[in-house]
Structure 1
Amino acid sequence: MSRSTRLVVSLSLLSLLALASACAAPPAASPGDADAGADAAPADGALGDGALSVPLAGEIEPGVYRELVTIAAPAAPPSPSGATSPPHTNVARFLRYRASAEPRPVRAIVIAMPGMPAGAMSYDQLARRLLVLSGGDIELWAIDRRANTLEDLTGMNAAEARRDPDLAWRYYDEGLTIAGKRYQGLPASPAYMSEWGLATHVSDLRAMLALIPAAERRARVLLIGHSFGAAFVQAYAAWNIGADGAPRAAASELAGVALLDGGLFLYPEIDEATYRGQGSGLAAGLDTLRAGKRLYLDYVGLGLEAFLTVEVTALRASIAPHAVVDDPHVDRIATLLFLRAPPPMTSAALVGFTLDEDSSPVRGLRARCGAADGPTESYRSPLTSEMRLRPARDDVTYDWLDYDEVDPPENTSIKVLARVAHEGPTNRIEWFMPARLVLDVAAVSSLSMTDASWQRAYGLRATANGLVDAPLLVVSAGRGIAPSAAAFDGYRQRIAATVGEGRPRAGATRARDQGLAGGFAVLDLPDHAHDDLVHGSGERADQQIYQPLLDWLLSNVAAGRVLVGR
């Protein structure tokens, strides 16, 4: 069997949300920005002292400056067994995109919650385009949830810095020491993750909001979410932040809320017995989690190895996209995707077959990113029972035609998909997404809670949905997971009937036939797949996605500007 297949399958596992199970223990936590030596590896299998690392901050393209920011956040509650979160995990972390090295006043700050299992780099392309199109008049803060602090990215960051993908495997598999550090593998039990649910992540988000003057939040802070992130954003908007018995929705501190091809409607409502017992389907029940089991989502049992294969091969695709991949880490799980031995493939083809709309097995992973340069055939995917495309010939070496090399052109560049999958100092994938967070989102999915509801006993405060008076934007991808804004009709009817006083669109109704102008704005993108909304490339993406989104964002902020220092 060809060595090239394993990445295709591994990347596909990111999308297997419907098949996700959960497992038990993340790796030893360590900073994602550890230095790697630049020297050649000496005989003892260590890299030397020459410092090489992925910068925490810097200009990534003209007019776009990116910085990984880490601030203190309230400690998560201890587990019933007494396990406490390590101090380095009690943080709020985000990629801060702005126009210059030193912050300057901006009209709007956009805070972006990633999907599942996704990290801050999932918003990299969207952030770049919004910054450029706005002339630097906004900032975007892409959240890196606390579980990302458990990832040891030393090997990946060193591999990127040295442009040597194999260096990552030497660190994670072979015991290579980098700048005095050796990979420690997985700890015995992170029982504290049982408490990393919705309330903990709301607390982390509010630590970020506290950086912005309270008087400015309602005027110019907008919260957006993609995929699972959209569901989180809905729950957060309804979170009761009131005191002394006076309910107040967290949306009262926001200038607007945008939901990008996702939302709570994807998570069936569960009762308390299910919450404690069998769980939500994606996540185990609370009793299992508090017993120290299945604490983070795993993808068909392949976990970290699959994610590392994703990142290493994406790095290969950025360095040498048309080189045929010969990597033993790509072999073992090939039949999960192709059901046959695959032919030789370039790194670009591996990424393409895994992520393209025609071959990726699940909508939540797909982008319209070009086509295979070689004959294909249809087969029924064992992962979703859908008909998908795979290579049809064993005697052909497969490469990939990018989105602008096919006729008609598609939406997302394979180069962007590769870049966001590997580029540091953090990453695109959340290796250890807490099952408790997914479970809690399912528990509040109806947004019909009151203070007497069973969910309140578990710290869930999404009881103020009827008070959500912020303007809403729904972006639906016709080839994605929320193909029509009609999926939000129930939600639209349960929030405040009009946009609240003191806002630029005060009094606007929630009718969904007003385009981008009403209190429930809709942007329909019928020929877009799920991930096109955040990774779209080229002038067409600017016209159809980023400029309309930017126009909506800026139309809902007040006059003036805000400065948030470093």
Structure 2
Amino acid sequence: MVTLSVPLPASAPPHPSACDTLSYLRWRSADGPDSAADADRVLVAQPGVFEGAGAFDSVARNTVASAAEQGKHIEFWALDRRSNCLEDHTGVQAALGNGSFDTATDYYFRDGEADGRRFAGYAEGAQTDWLRDQGLEQTLRDEYDILRLEFPDQAVRKQKVLCGGHSLGGFVTGYFAEWDFDGDPATTDDAGYNQCSGYFALDTSIKSGLGVRGVSFPELPAPLAGVVENGSLALDTAMPVLRLPAVINPETTNLLALAGLAARLRPEETNDLVRRLPENLNITGTLRTLLSQDLGMFATGNPDVRQLNASNQAVLGAILDDNSQPLGFLQASVGFVGGGPVGPKTFPVPDAIARSRLAMGGFGDAPKVSPTRFDQDTVYRWLDYNDPAIADSGPYTEPGSEVTSIDELARSLTEPPLDFTEWYFPSRLTLDLQQKTAPSFAHNHIHRDGVNQNPIISFRSSGGIPVADSGNPRDEVIELPGYNHLDVLTAAARQNNGRPEVVSTRLADFATGH
């Protein structure tokens, strides 16, 4: 993790001093140069919605390693939004250090101490009011400042840097390419397109910012997408952090890291997380939404999902695998459940609707499954993406459509010092991108041909969410059969067809000029 001192403008609302910094994760070859300025290329990535820098862990490792095999030393930087300064990862990091899952759950749920600290709770109200100003303009300025500070010579930036992102990060990159950072359209050394030599799009489109305004973002859950698309700037005042009462909020996004931690420390033990969770409406609603087989189970809580016997790996798999996770922007092809019977999952949407990508926009097209037995004699286990038993999974999956390792996913959710999922996503950012005219940055000059100034490589998954063409003749589009939205970041280096993973190898080729 690299952290730079970059204070917010003097006009910014009161905020913690820790938020006057910018952080990113830096991956580089162990035998490469210490200085990024001496690297052959540096890929700089913007995260998607509710996504932190840690989500890029696998694709970053694999891309850097692929280039090293060609004798090239490239780096991969994943940016973290400034709002993530409010997160507290103490419990997870302490548990990784001592190997005890109880350290983390005691810290977050039972007022336990870790590394001399106690969890202060999740920020809300006045603690997050300053995020009303963390919209598109500040997000772009933050990326520019990191590049400017790390590569003071603009000519070096232009030669070394490739700019891109995943999901929402692709739309942000399109605006970055066209932004004028010194306020003088007559000078172009500061223009976004002159900070990069090319662009990369990870299950997203990089297109003109003016072409993005007013379009919908299918990666958002339907209720959130409705809030954003029908909202106005006034919503920022009422809701500076984008959240829902269940499934999407700071407490539940932290649960994903804890699920990864349990799977990392004790993969075959059963229900380390589920049975330690406190009883509250938010967590109960989230568990029922994600794990209920049908509406009746969700409404009554019978059978109780907390009584399901499942290994820690199986719990993590059930949360994120495309055969059970209904939200397209949270889906990965990470294997399949084993050890007990499964049946059709018709909640939170009927499977016939969930399989129609056009009908729901944010839902994947894989048939959903759910355990059908909750007795004490059945313990569900997880079959990793390359387990030979995947071939016997019936109509639900086959080896060619499983691409992400459950072990690597657990690592990425816990070990990077910046989170895989962010707790506090600033609603201003999506509101700025959604509006046909956004007063918050209408004064800024846009270089309308900025995206066209550099080549683009785009990777497009076959499931999860639909991605529109950029319409740019300089855009090389690579289709990814069997991949879902998260797989573009999390896929394993070696695939079931015996070949190297496509995104990282082609991205390395793009970076090294092959």
* Preserved contact between residue 111 and residue 140 of structure 1 (Cα < 8 Å): yes
1:24-45 CA distances to partner (integer Å, 9 max, x unpaired)? xxxxxxxxxxxxxxxxxxxxxx
Change over 3 Å in CA distance of 1:175–1:425 after alignment to 2: same
Match of 2:141 in 1: 203
In 2, the alpha carbon distance for the partners of 1:411 and 1:255 equals: 30
Change (3 A) 1:175 1:548: same
* Post-superposition CA distance 1:49-78 (Å, at most 9, x none): xxxxxxxxxxxxxxxxxxx11112241464
Which residue in 1 is equivalent to 2:324?
359
Identify the residue that residue 289 of structure 1 maps to in structure 2: 236
Q: Which aligned pairs between 1:183-262 and structure 2 lie closer than 5 A? A: 183-185=119-121, 186=123, 188-189=125-126, 190-210=128-148, 211-212=150-151, 213-241=153-181, 243-246=183-186, 248=188, 249-262=191-204
CA distance in 2 between partners of 1:383 and 1:294 (Å): 27
Question: More displaced, 424-433 or 106-115?
Answer: 424-433
The 2-side partners of 1:282 and 1:267 are apart by: 18
> 5+ unaligned residues in a row in structure 2: which ranges?
217-222, 298-302, 355-366, 392-398
The answer to whether structure 1 residue 298 and structure 2 residue 248 are counterparts is: no
Q: Distance in 2 between matches of 1:92 and 1:143?
A: 8
Q: Is the 8 A contact 2:62 2:493 kept in 1?
A: no
Are 2:492 and 2:501, in contact at CA under 8 Å, matched by a contact in 1?
no
Tell me the CA shift for residue 222 of structure 1. 0.2
Which deviations, in whole Å up to 9, do the C-alpha atoms of 1:430-471 show, x marking residues without a partner?
A: 100111111112236xxxxxxxxx535545637223233111
TM-score, with structure 1 as normaliser: 0.72
How many residue pairs are counted as aligned between the two chains? 440
Deviations 1:134-170 (A, max 9, x none): 1161011111111111111112211221111221222
What is aligned with 2:370? 390
Q: Residue type of the partner of 1:524?
A: E
Of residues 22, 28, 32, the one that matches 1:98 is 28
Structure-2 change in CA distance of 1:279 and 1:533 (3 Å): closer
* Equivalent in the alignment of 1:533: 488
For structure 1, the residue ranges without an aligned partner over 5 or more in a row are 1-67, 272-277, 445-453, 493-509, 511-518, 557-566
1:247–1:466 Cα change, 3 Å: farther
Compare 301-310 and 431-440 and name the one that shifted more. 301-310
Counterpart of 1:145? Answer: 81
Contact 1:199 1:460 in 2 (8 A): no
Partner of 2:426: 434
Sort the Cα spacing of 1:383 and 1:89 in 2 relative to 1 into closer, same or farther, 3 A: farther
- AA at the equivalent of 1:208: I
Aligned to 2:19: 89
Q: Output the amino acid matched with 2:288.
A: T
1:488 maps to 469
What per-residue deviation string (whole Å, max 9, x for no partner) do you get for residues 339-398 of structure 1?
432431111111111211221102211111111103211122215852621112223211
- Name whichever structure is richer in strand by fraction: 1
Superposed CA deviations along residues 463-512 of structure 1, whole A, max 9, x for unmatched, are 223233111112111113245xxx2245x2xxxxxxxxxxxxxxxxx1xx
2: CA distance, partners of 1:280 / 1:370: 29
Written as runs of structure 1 = structure 2, the 5 A alignment for 1:495-510 is: 510=473
| 1:25-424 correspondence runs (5 A) | 68-76=1-9, 78=11, 83-100=13-30, 102-103=34-35, 105-135=38-68, 137-185=73-121, 186=123, 188-189=125-126, 190-210=128-148, 211-212=150-151, 213-241=153-181, 243-246=183-186, 248=188, 249-263=191-205, 269=214, 281-283=226-228, 285-290=232-237, 293-301=238-246, 303-326=249-272, 327-329=275-277, 332-333=284-285, 334-337=287-290, 338=292, 339=294, 340=297, 341=303, 342=305, 343-373=308-338, 374-382=340-348, 386=354, 388-395=368-375, 396-405=378-387, 406-407=390-391, 408-409=399-400, 410-424=402-416
The answer to whether the Cα contact below 8 Å between 1:354 and 1:360 also exists between their aligned partners in 2 is yes
Matched to 1:318, the amino acid is R
C-alpha change, 1:268 and 1:219, in structure 2 (3 Å) is closer
In the aligned structure 1, how far is the partner of 2:346 from the partner of 2:312? 24
- TM-score, normalising length: structure 2: 0.79
Cα distance in structure 2, aligned partners of 1:164 and 1:115: 31
Is 1:258–1:473's contact at 8 Å kept on the other side of the alignment?
A: yes
Contact 1:285 1:439 in 2 (8 A): yes
> Structure 2 CA distance, aligned partners of 1:148 and 1:137?
29
The answer for the alignment partner of 2:507 in structure 1 is 549
CA distance, structure 2, for counterparts of residue 151 and residue 279 of structure 1: 22
What's the offset of the Cα at 1:133?
1.2
The alpha-carbon distance between structure 1 residues 280 and 534, as it changes in their structure 2 partners (threshold 3 A), is: closer
Amino acid at match of 2:459: V
Deviation at 1:85, TM superposition (A): 3.0
Q: Identify, as 1 or 2, the structure richer in helix.
A: 2
Q: Write the letter of the residue equivalent to 1:86.
A: P
CA contact (8 A) 1:165 1:313 kept: no
